Amino acid sequence: MAAPVKVLVVDDSLTMRALLSGALERIPGVVVVGSADGADEARSMREQLHPDVMTLDVEMPGMSGLEYLAEMMDKKPMPVIMFSTRTEAGAEASVEALRLGAIDCFPKPKVAVAAEFDKILAKLGKRIKAAKGAVVKGAATAKAVAAPPMDWNGRILAIGGEAAATQSLFDLFGSFPANCPPTVVVQHLGPGLAGTMIDKLAAEIAPRIVLAEDGMAVEQGTIYLAPPGDHHVALDTWPGGRLRLLPRDPVAGERPSISILFASVAKAAGAEAVGLLLGADGEDGDAGIRALQAGGGYCLVQAEDRAQGFVLSRRMATQPVPGDQLARSLLKLCSK
CATH number at residue 103: 3.40.50.2300
Q: Alpha-carbon distance 260 to 251, whole Å?
A: 8
Residues 211 and 318 grouped into a single domain = yes
**What is the average per-residue pLDDT within 218-233?**
95
Q: Alpha-carbon distance 166 to 104, whole Å?
A: 9
Number of helices (H), then strands (E), belonging to the chain: the values are 11, 15
Residues 183 and 102 grouped into a single domain = no
Residues 33 and 104 grouped into a single domain = yes
For the ranges 222-236, 267-281, 303-317, the lowest mean pLDDT is seen at: 303-317
Does pLDDT of 163 surpass 80? yes
Peptide bond into 4 cis (omega under 30): no
Higher pLDDT, 282 or 205: 205
Residues 104 and 198 grouped into a single domain = no
- Conformational region of residue 208, where left means phi above 0, alpha means psi within -120 to 50, and beta covers everything else: beta
* Tens-place pLDDT, residues 275-285: 999 975 557 88
Instruction: Decide if 23 is inside a domain.
Output: yes
Does pLDDT of 183 surpass 90? yes
Higher pLDDT, 252 or 328: 328
Beta bridge partners of 208: 222
What is the torsional sign of CA 59, 62, 64, 65? negative
Those residues whose C-beta lies under 8 Å from the C-beta of residue 336, and which sit 6 or more positions away, are 151, 152, 153
Element of type H or E holding 273: strand 273-278
DSSP-H helix ranges across the chain: 14-25, 39-49, 65-75, 88-100, 114-118, 121-131, 166-174, 194-202, 258-269, 286-294, 326-333
Instruction: Decide if 144 is inside a domain.
Output: no
Average pLDDT, the chain: 91
pLDDT at position 76, please? 92
pLDDT at position 107, please? 86
Instruction: Decide if 141 is inside a domain.
Output: no
* Tens-place pLDDT, residues 91-102: 899 999 999 999
Residues 283 and 167 grouped into a single domain = yes
Residues 247 and 168 grouped into a single domain = yes
Residues 186 and 121 grouped into a single domain = no
For residue 193, give the CATH number of its domain. Answer: 3.40.50.180
pLDDT at position 82, please? 93
The pTM score is 0.92
8 Å CB contact between 106 and 85: no
Beta bridge partners of 161: 187, 278
Strand pairing category for 310-314 and 298-302: antiparallel
Instruction: Decide if 259 is inside a domain.
Output: yes
Q: Alpha-carbon distance 12 to 182, whole Å?
A: 44
Residues 16 and 99 grouped into a single domain = yes
Does pLDDT of 185 surpass 90? yes
3-state secondary structure of 39: helix
| Structural domain ending residue among the three candidates 131, 165, 180 | 131
Instruction: Decide if 70 is inside a domain.
Output: yes
Residues 125 and 167 grouped into a single domain = no
In a 13 Å sphere around the CA of 136, the CA atoms on its Cβ side amount to: 29
Residues 192 and 315 grouped into a single domain = yes
Residues 22 and 162 grouped into a single domain = no
Instruction: Decide if 246 is inside a domain.
Output: yes
- Domain of residue 190 covers 156-333
Beta bridge partners of 159: 185, 276
Residues 124 and 230 grouped into a single domain = no
For the ranges 12-16, 178-182, 191-195, the lowest mean pLDDT is seen at: 191-195
DSSP result, 215-276: T-B--TTEEEEPPSSS-EEEE--SSS-BEEEE----BTTBSS-HHHHHHHHHHHHGGGEEEE
Strand pairing category for 80-84 and 183-188: unpaired
Instruction: Decide if 123 is inside a domain.
Output: yes
* Tens-place pLDDT, residues 14-68: 999 999 999 999 999 999 999 999 999 999 999 999 999 999 999 888 899 999 9
Instruction: Decide if 261 is inside a domain.
Output: yes
Q: Alpha-carbon distance 82 to 54, whole Å?
A: 8
| Structural domain ending residue among the three candidates 115, 131, 147 | 131
Give the chain's domain count: 2
